[in-house]
């Protein structure tokens, strides 16, 4: 019998390295972009810092482009895994990171982008990322809670800080929107965008207020999170710092978009809201830090959850810096600088560990055990 060798069709073989590339990888883009955005918001101005922020922003934009292509390949070649991720309550909330990655890079387009690509192109890029990020964020803010209610099976005590991710994305959009207000025609256009951003702020804030008690109740009644998930406690800082940044950014542009007495009222609201929220953020930072130290003593391993140390802390940097600009309080300036030092250290360590795991293939390796069934039957 003669056997005929079949030609190899390597082009048709799906790239296995993409199979385990989940939406949580967008957190690396967020965590990198916030280093540039938060740095640009600091009251500190030293030679060379601006160039460093611009370089980090370019890196985040390249990471975003590469990840968008890779995730498209994931959906193209591994639809079964992509659908399973949507039906997994531990993974699905990370789709909120897609929106926030787009928006974080968009904020950087306005804060440091003009020095890299020019003012006009920076505005165009920021506007495009605002539109895409806001649209994705609104879809995710509805779709993921819908799946949680109708398809996910969540065990008692299964609440997690990652549940905040889908509903925080509109808050990031509310922070980027004010950058576009001065570039719109005066009158209805500016007012519509301003009030639209306040609507995004409100829907995100109220959704967070629904989710956050569930997270705290889970901690109180069921104890600390598993070691690898403990860094996710820092995610609670995200809506706190981001909402403070949003209201202060909106107050900055309110006088050019809406008449008196509302503009003055919105300026006062930014401080009246931001100060107590930043106070709670510092309380949660201390609590989450204590829980992480406890987990480290018990052998907390490296995981992609370590990116929780970056973007949420970065939002507290921008929140404290924006409050300092509105109040002139030096203590808030020093707080923003201290938080930024922590952010830089967390980004450097987490980025290095991620790069090592990516090169070795450990972070993209298949899970050791089959994923549990998480979807309800219809």
pLDDT, tens digit, 9 for 90 and up, residues 75-123: 998 999 989 999 999 999 999 999 999 999 999 999 999 999 999 999 9
Query: In the block, which residue shows the tokens 């955005």?
Result: 37
Query: Does pLDDT of 365 surpass 90?
Result: no
C-alpha–C-alpha distance, residues 7 and 299, integer Å: 49
Residue-level pLDDT at 6: 42
Residue-level pLDDT at 231? 97
Q: Which CATH number fits domain 15-364: 3.30.365.10, 1.50.10.150, 3.30.300.30, 3.40.30.10?
A: 1.50.10.150
pLDDT band at residue 368, thresholds of 50, 70 and 90? low
pLDDT per residue over 261-300, tens digit each? 999 999 999 999 999 999 999 999 999 999 999 999 999 9
Indicate the pLDDT class of residue 15, thresholds 50, 70 and 90: low
Domain boundaries, the chain: 15-364
Whats the size of the chain, residue-wise? 378
Distance CA 359, CA 164 (A): 30
- pLDDT (tens digit per residue) in 189-223: 999 999 999 999 999 999 999 999 999 999 999 99
**pLDDT value, residue 54:** 96
Please tell me the distance from the alpha carbon of residue 12 to that of residue 2, in angstroms, as a whole number.
26
Tens of pLDDT, residue by residue over 111-155, are 999 999 999 999 999 999 999 999 999 999 999 999 999 988 888
* The predicted structure's pLDDT at residue 16: 62
- Does position 20 have pLDDT exceeding 90, yes or no? no
Across residues 5-18, what is the average pLDDT? 50
DSSP state of 300: P
**Which pLDDT does position 7 carry in this prediction?**
40
* pLDDT for residue 4 is more than 50: no
Distance CA 169, CA 242 (A): 10
In the prediction, which pLDDT does 356 show?
95
Question: Which stretches within 181-236 are classed as H helix?
Answer: 188-222
C-alpha–C-alpha distance, residues 330 and 44, integer Å: 12
What's the pLDDT tens digit per position in 33-71? 999 999 999 998 888 899 999 999 999 999 999 999 999
Tokens of 304: 């992609």
Tokens representing 295 are 């987990």
- Mean pLDDT, to the nearest integer, of 314-336? 96
Say which range, 42-46, 173-177, 344-348, has the weakest mean pLDDT.
Answer: 42-46
* pTM score: 0.91
Separation of alpha carbons 176 and 203, rounded Å: 16
Residue 138 pLDDT: 97
């Amino acid at each position: 019998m003669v056997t005929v060798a079949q030609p190899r069709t390597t082009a048709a073989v799906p790239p296995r390295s993409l199979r385990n590339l989940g939406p949580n990888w967008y957190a690396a883009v967020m965590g990198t972009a916030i280093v540039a955005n938060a740095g640009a918001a600091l009251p500190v101005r030293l030679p060379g810092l601006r160039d460093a922020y611009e370089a980090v922003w370019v890196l985040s934009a390249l990471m975003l482009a590469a990840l968008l292509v890779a995730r498209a390949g994931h959906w193209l070649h591994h639809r079964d895994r992509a659908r399973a991720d949507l039906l997994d309550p531990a993974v699905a909330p990370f789709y909120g990171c897609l929106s926030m990655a787009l928006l974080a890079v968009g904020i950087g387009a306005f804060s440091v982008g003009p020095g890299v690509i020019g003012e006009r192109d920076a505005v165009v890029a920021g506007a495009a990322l605002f539109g895409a990020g806001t649209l994705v964020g609104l879809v995710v803010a509805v779709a993921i809670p819908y799946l949680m209610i109708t398809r996910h099976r969540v065990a008692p005590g299964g609440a997690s800080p990652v549940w905040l991710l889908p509903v925080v994305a509109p808050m990031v959009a509310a922070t980027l929107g004010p950058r576009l207000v001065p570039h719109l025609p005066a009158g209805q256009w500016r007012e519509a965008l301003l009030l639209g951003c306040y609507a995004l702020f409100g829907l995100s804030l109220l959704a967070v207020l629904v989710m956050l008690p569930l997270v705290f109740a889970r901690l109180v009644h069921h104890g600390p999170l598993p070691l690898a998930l403990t860094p996710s406690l820092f995610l609670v800082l995200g809506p706190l710092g981001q909402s403070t940044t949003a209201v202060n950014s909106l107050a900055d542009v309110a006088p050019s978009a809406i008449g008196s007495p509302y503009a003055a009222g919105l300026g006062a609201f930014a401080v009246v809201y931001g100060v107590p929220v930043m106070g709670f953020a510092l309380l949660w930072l201390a609590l989450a830090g204590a829980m992480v130290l406890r987990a480290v003593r018990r052998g907390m391993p490296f995981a992609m959850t370590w990116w929780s140390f970056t973007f949420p802390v970065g939002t507290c940097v921008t929140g404290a810096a924006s409050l300092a600009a509105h109040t002139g309080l030096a203590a808030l300036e020093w707080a923003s600088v201290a938080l930024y030092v922590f952010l830089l250290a967390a980004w450097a360590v987490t980025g290095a560990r991620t790069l090592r795991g990516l090169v070795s293939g450990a972070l993209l390796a298949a899970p050791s055990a089959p994923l549990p069934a998480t979807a309800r039957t219809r």
